[in-house]
Structure 1
Amino acid sequence: MSEIDDLRKQIENIDEKLVYLLSERMKLSGKIGKIKQKNNFPITDEKREESVRLRWLSLSQKYGIPESMIDPLLNLIFSYSKIFQINPSYIKKISIIGYGGMARSLISLFKISSQEVVVTGRDIKKAERLASEFGYAYMEPYKAVEWGEIIIITLPPSGIVSDFMKKLFPYFSGKKVIDILSTKHSIFGFLEKMSLENNFNYISSHPLFGPYLYPVGEKIAVIPSITFPDSKEILDFWRNCGLFPIQTSLENHEKAMAVVQVLPHFYLMALSKSIELLAKELDVDFSNFQTTNFRDIYKIIKRVNDLHSVIMEIQELNPYSQKARELGMKELNNLYNEFLGEKK
Structure 2
Amino acid sequence: MEGAAEALRSSLLRIDRSLVSLVAARLNIADVLGSVKRGEGMPVYDPSREIAVANLLVEEARRLGVPENLVKEIYFLLARESRCRQLYCPEALRVAFYGYGRMARTLASAMARGGCWVAITGRSVEKAREAAGAVGAKYMEPGRALDWADVLVYAVPGDAVPGLLREHLPMLRESMLVADIASVKTPLVREIAGLLGDGGPEYASLHPLFGPLDCPAGETVAIVPVRLQRWRPRLERLLAGLGLSPAYLSAEEHDKVMAVNQVLHHLVYDLYREAARLLEERLDIPTDKRKELVTHSLRSTERVAARLERLRGVVEEIRRLNPYTGEVLKALREALEGLAASTDSGLEPRG
* 1:335 and 2:339 aligned: yes
Residues 20-72 of structure 1, C-alpha deviation per residue, up to 9 Å, x if partnerless? 3112222444566656975658434463476378469758964xx897x8787
TM-score by length of 1: 0.85
Aligned residue number for residue 323 of structure 1: 327
Name the SS of the counterpart of 1:242 in structure 2.
Answer: coil
**Amino acid in the other structure paired with 1:168:** H
Alignment of structure 1 residues 134-145 onto 2, 5 Å: 134-145=135-146
Q: Quote the RMSD (CA, aligned, Å).
A: 3.3
Alignment equivalent of 2:46, drawn from 25, 43, 48: 43
1:303 aligns with 2:307: yes
Q: Identity of counterpart residues, as a percentage?
A: 25
Secondary structure at the residue paired with 2:211? coil
1:314 matches 2:318: yes
Counterpart residue number, 1:289: 293
Q: 2 CA distance for matches of 1:129 and 1:106?
A: 16
Q: Give the secondary structure class of the aligned counterpart of 2:197.
A: helix
Shift of the 225–280 alpha-carbon distance from structure 1 to 2, 3 Å rule, reads same
Matching residue's letter, 1:295: R
Query: Do the aligned residues in 2 keep the contact of 1:94 with 1:150 (CA within 8 Å)?
Result: yes
In 1, Cα distance between the equivalents of 2:75 and 2:282?
Answer: 41
1:9 Cα offset (Å): 7.8
* Matching residue of 1:168: 168
Counterpart-to-counterpart distance in 2, 1:242 and 1:117: 18
- Residues 205-220 of structure 1: matches in 2 within 5 Å? 205-220=206-221
Q: Measure, in 2, the Cα distance between the counterparts of 1:53 and 1:283.
A: 49
For 1:47, the aligned partner's letter is I
Counterpart residue type for residue 82 of structure 2:
S
CA distance, structure 2, for counterparts of residue 89 and residue 50 of structure 1 = 28
Q: Determine the structure 1 residue equivalent to 2:83.
A: 82
Q: Equivalents in 1 of 2:57, 2:257: separation in Å?
A: 29
Paired residues of 1:169 and 1:198 also in contact (CA < 8 A): no
User: C-alpha displacement at 1:232, in angstroms?
Assistant: 2.7
- Matching residue's letter, 2:114: S
Within 1, Cα distance between the matches of 2:324 and 2:52?
35
Q: Give distance in 2, aligned partners of 1:140 and 1:294.
A: 46
1:86 positional shift: 3.3
Cα contact 1:152–1:180 (8 A) shared by 2: yes
Aligned-partner residue type, residue 171 of structure 1 = M
Shift in alpha-carbon separation, 1:237–1:24, aligned structure 2, 3 A: same
**Counterpart-to-counterpart distance in 2, 1:319 and 1:291:** 36
- Are residues 332 and 31 of structure 1, via their aligned partners in 2, closer, same or farther at CA, if it must alter by over 3 Å? farther
Report the more deviating stretch, 186-195 or 203-212: 186-195
Task: Could you tell me which runs of 5 or more consecutive residues in structure 1 were left unpaired when the two chains were aligned.
Answer: none
Paired with 1:123 and 1:72, the residues of 2 have a C-alpha distance of: 42
**CA offset at residue 235 of structure 1?**
2.0
Report the secondary structure of 1:225's partner residue: strand
Q: How does 1:1-344 map to 2 (within 5 A)?
A: 14=15, 16-30=17-31, 34=36, 42-45=45-48, 47-48=51-52, 51=55, 54=58, 62=66, 73-74=74-75, 76-162=77-163, 166-174=166-174, 175-196=176-197, 199-226=200-227, 228=229, 231-284=232-285, 285=287, 286-341=290-345, 343=347
After TM superposition, the structure 1 stretch with the greater mean CA deviation from structure 2, 239-248 or 92-101, is 239-248
1:49/1:85 Cα in 2 relative to 1: closer, same or farther (>3 Å)? farther
Q: TM-score, normalised by structure 2?
A: 0.84
Q: Are the counterparts in 2 of residues 86 and 241 from structure 1 also a CA contact under 8 Å? A: yes
1:251 is paired with a residue whose SS is helix
- The Cα shift of 1:258 comes to 1.2
Post-superposition offset of 1:264:
1.3
Output one character per residue of 1:213-268: Cα deviation in whole Å (capped at 9) or x when no partner: 21111000111114658733322221122211111121211111112111111111
Amino acid at match of 2:78: I
Number of aligned residues: 338
**2:102 & 2:32 partners in 1: Cα distance?**
32
